[in-house]
Amino acid sequence: MAVEISMPQLSDTMSEGRILVWKKKEGDVVKRGEALAEVATDKADLEIESFHQGTLLKIYSLAGETVKVGSVIAIIGEAGESVAAGSTASAPKGQASIPVASVAPVSPAPVQQQVSSYQPAQVDPLTATERVKISPLAKNVALSQGVDFTQISGSGEGGRIVRKDVDAFLSSPESSESVSAPRPPTRAPEPVQAKFTSAPVTALPVPVGAQELSRMRQTISSRMVESKTTIPHFYMTSKIEVSTLVKFRETLKPLPQYEGITYNHLMVKAVGLALKAQPRINASYQNGHLVQPAEINVGIVTALPDGLLIPVLKRADQISLADLIQESKGLVQRARAGKPKADDLVGGTFSISNVGQYPVESFSAIISPGQGGILAVSAIQDEPVVKNDMVVPGKVMRVTLSVDHRIIDGVVSGEFLKELKRVLEEPVLLLA
């Protein structure tokens, strides 16, 4: 029996994905676990694995197309099985179902063809962005130089015109025929009968050396703005004496099952246990409701050359420390290589941002949308501490908890930090 393959949600923030390449073609035999296609998400390029066995009967979305999560992209069934004309493809939530026979993909015309079909005299660059794909930065440069960008071929994704295309056009011989005196970037809209007229568009000057943000950087930008403008952050900092924790790690390092153990591994385990003791910190605010997840899944903020990913360690409170070390290493290594598994980036309920390798005394982190809190972990520093009424040398770590104040208050936050401090100062508890 034929089954529909839909665009999966490969990260907590993914709403659509662009198909980069199909690993299988129509008529190919597909096994469970085999990669069907590679998809570009808002965070990374990931593979779509098949959960079914059979023959790839039909592909509905070609390479290069952007597809919303939940939309049907292919059909798998038995060899020779035909796709019934009356069957329906599961549409995204909130949309009507579409007959499968009517959604055969149409390859988009090349961008150069679309551009050349316009008559230059009839195209106003100020209003052409709905028909010509162009980045905001490239548009600003073109307008400031008086360039009719409808005459430029794009080299970006899907034929999109980017800054380097405008620069190349300006240095080409044909630019002298197309470039006129720079026109003012703002013009009053012409009155249109019975239609809404938008405000004038002002093109901002482009700073020298400005670069377009990568897709990952754009996602980080929008998500952080969303978090800081919609989540009322509340912060609490705790100082933890970790001399015993340092000795504990040194004791475990030579043992084969704890090979590669880091302070972050110990912190992830400690946070998992503290969240189990104070599950309210593991909750989130969604649409006016308190949502309490069934699992404790800790996201590990991982730095990349131009951004970050947050691979998620599942069931951090239940997994043994030895297994946690191995799973964490795999998660972080795949993230840094830019090749996380589909399940690596989903399901996070709380996150840790650890900059302990740098001389940072204290900092606060921004909550990831969809979660209720995040812990910022700073470096271990040598400081005098009081033990048995005596001042002695010690090793101190400061952690700062950021929580969503709509659902988490100071008392609960304090209890969480109290439990975290207890576990880290008595690290044998991490082996329980």
Give Cα separations from 280 to 110, 390, 411 (angstroms): 53, 37, 11
What is the value of pTM for the model shown?
Answer: 0.63
The residues of the chain that CATH labels 3.30.559.10 are 216-431
For 57-84, letters b (16+ CB in 10 Å) and e give: bbbbbeeebebebbbbbbbbbeeeeebe
Domain 3-102, classified CATH 3.40.50.920, yes or no: no
Residue appearing with tokens 């030579």: 254
pLDDT recorded at residue 2: 81
pLDDT recorded at residue 111: 39
pLDDT recorded at residue 153: 81
Give Cα separations from 239 to 265, 377, 394 (angstroms): 19, 11, 12
pLDDT recorded at residue 115: 39
Contacts of the segment 330-333: beta carbons below 8 A, 24+ positions apart: 331/300, 331/302, 332/300, 332/302
pLDDT recorded at residue 21: 87
Q: Which fold is adopted by the domain 216-431? A: Chloramphenicol Acetyltransferase (3.30.559)
For 353-374, letters b (16+ CB in 10 Å) and e give: bbebeeeeeeeebbbbbebbbb
Nearest alpha carbon to residue 149 among 421, 157, 384, 135:
135
Segment-wise mean pLDDT, segments of 10 residues, the chain, 432 residues: 81 78 88 84 76 87 86 86 53 36 38 39 45 70 74 76 78 60 48 52 71 80 90 97 97 96 97 98 95 96 89 96 96 89 90 95 94 97 92 95 97 98 96 86
Q: Which residues are catalytically annotated?
A: 405
The residues of the chain that CATH labels 2.40.50.100 are 3-102
pLDDT recorded at residue 89: 40
Task: Name the packing angle between helices 410-425 and 243-252 (round to 10°).
Answer: 50
Q: Which three-class secondary structure state does DSSP give residue 13? A: coil
